[in-house]
């Protein structure tokens, strides 16, 4: 084989590889495989529903009802901090341009 025919064979092989690669790429992106993320998300949702229903069944009649209008027990706590009013510089103005 002479150099010219060898070069033509190599160019044809490279062209065939490029066309085959393009067709494979186009087929893959035309019908991509379905991602597994929706299945995983659905599995998580199913697990959360199962846990919620199981916790509702387990605590039914056992736990007292929580009243949302209940008074906060820490709402009327007396102020017993001895260091709250000990800053001697609390009334000094620091901005000379006011």
From first to last of its 98 residues, the chain has per-residue pLDDT tens of 688 888 999 999 999 999 998 888 888 777 766 666 677 788 888 899 888 888 777 767 666 667 766 777 777 788 888 787 787 777 777 777 77
Residue bearing tokens 């993320």: 37
Rounded Cα distance between 61 and 56, Å, is 10
Alpha helix stretches (DSSP H) within the chain: 3-30, 37-59
| Structure letter (DSSP) for residue 88 | T
């Amino acid at each position: 084989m002479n150099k010219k025919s060898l070069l033509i064979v190599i160019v044809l092989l490279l062209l065939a590889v490029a066309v085959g690669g393009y067709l494979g790429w186009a087929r893959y992106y035309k019908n991509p495989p379905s991602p597994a993320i929706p299945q995983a998300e659905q599995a998580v949702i199913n697990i959360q529903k199962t846990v919620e229903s199981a916790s509702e069944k387990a605590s039914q009649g056992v736990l007292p009802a929580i009243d949302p209008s209940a008074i906060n027990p820490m709402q009327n706590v007396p102020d017993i901090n001895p260091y709250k009013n000990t800053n001697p510089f609390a009334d000094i103005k620091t901005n000379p341009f006011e």
